[in-house]
Amino acid sequence: GDAKAGRAKAVGCQACHGLDGLSKLPDAPNLAGQVEPYLVKALTEFRNGTRKNEVMSVAAQDLSDADIANLAAYYSGIQIDVVPPG
């Protein structure tokens, strides 16, 4: 996927997931640094109906395979540092 194209497409995701991949809503997951194949799978499953969510089942309908690859590249590419739990 092309992260730069994904960033442009992520304008449609940012109200819930943030352009930085940090959730704006209790029901929306953070996407920053998320595993790339997991993101591709999630979006593909929302698009084909295997996975259902009121918002995402609709939002994913408009995504091409390239859009999905690009969005996954963009959000997975955001660097996160984890503070190891004590």
Which residues sit at the interface with a second copy, rule CB under 8 A? 7, 19-23, 26-30, 32-38, 41, 50-52, 74, 77-85
Three-point CA angle 43, 64, 72, nearest 5°? 45
* Residue 8 CB neighbour total at 10 angstroms: 13
Q: How far is the CB of 19 from a second copy (least distance, A)?
A: 7
Question: Between residues 25 and 66, which has the closer beta carbon with respect to a second copy?
Answer: 25
Using alpha carbons only, give the angle 33, 34, 35 rounded to the nearest 5 degrees: 115
Q: How far is the CB of 79 from a second copy (least distance, A)?
A: 4
Structure tokens at 24: 């704006």
What is d(CA 86, CA 77) in angstroms, rounded to the nearest whole number?
27
Please, what is the minimum distance in Å from the beta carbon of residue 9 to a second copy? 14
Q: Would you say 7 or 47 has its CB closer to a second copy? A: 7
